[in-house]
Amino acid sequence: MQTHLERRGLSGRSYAALRPIWSRGYTTYQQGIHMHLDNRLVDIKDISPLVNTLSQPSERIWLLYPREIQSWLKALWERYSTPTDRSLPTA
**Residues 8-39: tens digit of each pLDDT:** 888 887 888 889 999 888 776 667 788 899 99
Q: 60 and 24, same structural domain? A: yes
Asked if the structure places residue 91 within a domain, the reply is no
Asked if the structure places residue 89 within a domain, the reply is no
Helices (H), 8-85: 12-15, 49-54, 70-81
For 48-73, what is each residue's pLDDT tens digit? 999 888 888 999 999 999 998 899 98
User: How many domains does the structure of the chain reveal?
Assistant: 2
Residues 44 and 41: their CA atoms lie apart, in Å, by 9
Report if pTM > 0.85.
Answer: no
Query: Higher model confidence: residue 73 or residue 87?
Result: 73
